[in-house]
Amino acid sequence: MFLNFINYFRGFAILLIVIGHLFGTVKVFNYDDPYLNSIFTKSFFSLVSGGTSLFVFISGFLFHHVFYSRGFNFKKFLINKLKNVLCPYLVLMTPVVIFQLLNVPRYQKLYSSTGEFLKYLFLSLYSGTMLLSTWYIPFAFLLFLSSPIFIKFIEMKKFHKTIMFVLLIAGSIVHRPAHDFTVNVFQALIYFSPVYCLGIYISMKKDDFFEKFGDKSYVFGLITLGILAFQIYTGKFINSHKSILIYKGLDIVIYQKFFMCLFLVLFFNKFEKHFNKIFKSIFDILAEYSFPIFFLHNYIIQFIYPAIGFEKESGYIGLILLTILTLFLSIAFAYIIKKTFKKNSRYLIGG
């Protein structure tokens, strides 16, 4: 059954991801000394950054609502993900990786032989770090391969909340993996698993959950803001990346996103009927094109904007305008590709 509130949630998630990636282009946030930013900028940056967690929550929700509920077939599930996720990833990433390795000085220094070139070609595709968001795909594929584990989670009679709590603690200890050639997909799996399990759990218990908390979304909103205030106070308002073997305290971001997901799913479920036609149309389009946007906005931000000087834009007005432009261009390119290649477009852009 199609759920409008999840569709709007997905549209909102891709919006946050695009805004988060534009922080490096639009000079809103001071990366050189983040503590010099205003409280508003710190708060805005922290709430918007890490939109990946929202995507993971939605994936978990749909894993149960769609794939499990209609009868889970692991083989068909993986074949589907190979076609619609891994294939477009390789199509879009391979040319970028080869070009960067051959032409960018800092990458050219990494290898001196064909064997070393092939090594870094593999590491680049394994890590996905040459584009802003594509590190997510190798991790996501490990998530898909781990589906039998999550099936066990679904079919357990109890202990769901205990498992999520333990995973949340584990995720906050390991942090997100370092953003380099050795992105640890297993570390990412540990970090994001509590949010994925939360999505599964809310889908399993959605009727009871919405009945119990439908009018109390503000509770989770206040918890999210309380965690945000603690982040600002302690200076831990930025996504933390590190090696899994190094201890650097607890990552607070994962707690904020955990409760933000609960707030947002309640918000969109409660207010979906009150959204006007323009709002619904915009978020329907964002949801429909979310995966192509996920891939294509990387090219626009990393290659098109620097080429035409948009990286010199500044301020929140610049952020708003570039967000609109980035989404428009991503959707326009995706639309052209879909019209040109028809059903085969899924192998190119994932939709």
pLDDT in tens, 77-113: 999 999 999 999 999 999 999 999 999 999 999 999 9
Average pLDDT for residues 157-170, to the nearest whole number?
96
Neighbour tally for 81: CB within 10 Å: 17
CA 349 to CA 297: how far, in whole Å? 11
Angle at CA of residue 80, ends 56 and 329, nearest 5°: 65
pLDDT class of 177 with cuts at 50, 70, 90: very high
Extract the tokens encoding 239.
């996504």
Q: What is the pLDDT of residue 24?
A: 83
Confidence check: pLDDT of 3 > 70: yes
Cβ atoms of residues 168 and 258 within 8 Å: yes
The residues, any chain, with a CB within 8 Å of residue 52's CB and separated by 6 or more, are: 17, 133, 136, 192
Extract the tokens encoding 234.
């302690």
Confidence check: pLDDT of 311 > 70: no
Confidence check: pLDDT of 164 > 70: yes
Average pLDDT for residues 173-200, to the nearest whole number?
94
CA 349 to CA 87: how far, in whole Å? 9
Distance of CA 170 to the CA centre of its chain: 19
Q: What is the pLDDT of residue 313?
A: 62
Query: Whose CA is closest to 185, among 133, 219, 221, 138?
Result: 138
Overall number of domains in the chain: 1
Q: Averaging pLDDT over each range in 18-27, 119-128, 255-264, which range is the top one?
A: 255-264
| Beta-strand relationship, 241-242 and 176-177 | parallel
Could you list the residue range(s) of the whole structural domain that residue 166 is in? Answer: 4-349
Distances 349 to 44, 263, 275 between C-alpha atoms, Å: 30, 31, 29
What type of residue is 227?
Answer: I
Look up the pTM and report it: 0.94
First to last CA, the chain: 20
Polymer length of the chain: 351
Average pLDDT for residues 61-74, to the nearest whole number?
94
